[in-house]
Amino acid sequence: DTEVTQTPKHLVMGMTNKKSLKCEQHMGHRAMYWYKQKAKKPPELMFVYSYEKLSINESVPSRFSPECPNSSLLNLHLHALQPEDSALYLCASSPGGVSTDTQYFGPGTRLTVL
């Protein structure tokens, strides 16, 4: 089973709203990732959690706040977003820590900021 699930599938929010994206995996993976993907572009790494600790933050604005409550769950809290933050947000996980392990992706959340 190489399934990573993400909820919601679609999200529309205003610039003053607070919302959260959720990612879950039950494969026992110890590294989890958030990516942002604009249309027709490759994914851009935002955050990496390794063994439930934040190990990489790619200089992401503070209006994006990641959280890893346990080894199976990864959240991305959103607050005061801008229209340019509209994108597909992908979650991924890999078996070991941050290593050469293959990353498995979820189906993504399509975010629209009005």
Partner 1 sequence: AQTVTQSQPEMSVQEAETVTLSCTYDTSENNYYLFWYKQPPSRQMILVIRQEAYKQQNATENRFSVNFQKAAKSFSLKISDSQLGDTAMYFCAFRRGAQKLVFGQGTRLTINP
Cis peptide before 107 (omega within 30 of 0): no
The answer to the question of residue 99 lying near partner 1 (CB under 8 A) is: yes
Cβ distance to partner 1 smaller for residue 67 or 107: 107
The answer to the question of residue 90 lying near partner 1 (CB under 8 A) is: yes
The answer to the question of residue 100 lying near partner 1 (CB under 8 A) is: yes
The answer to the question of residue 66 lying near partner 1 (CB under 8 A) is: no
For residue 114, the Cα-to-chain-centroid distance in whole angstroms is 20
Q: What is the DSSP letter of 85?
A: G
Q: Select the span of 13-21, 22-30, 43-51, 64-72 touching partner 1 (CB under 8 A).
A: 43-51
Q: Look at strands 10-13 and 109-113 and give their pairing.
A: parallel
Would the CA dihedral through 71, 73, 78, 83 be positive or negative?
Answer: positive
Least distance in Å: CB of 77 to partner 1? 22
Burial class, 37, CB count within 10 angstroms (exposed 0-12 / middle 13-18 / buried 19+) = middle
Residues near partner 1 (CB under 8 A), total: 23
Among 21, 68, 106, 111, binds partner 1 (CB under 8 A): 106
The answer to the question of residue 88 lying near partner 1 (CB under 8 A) is: yes
* Cα dihedral: 10, 15, 19, 25 (round 10): 50
Residues binding partner 1 (CB under 8 A): 40-43, 45, 48, 56, 58, 88, 90, 92, 97-100, 102-108, 110
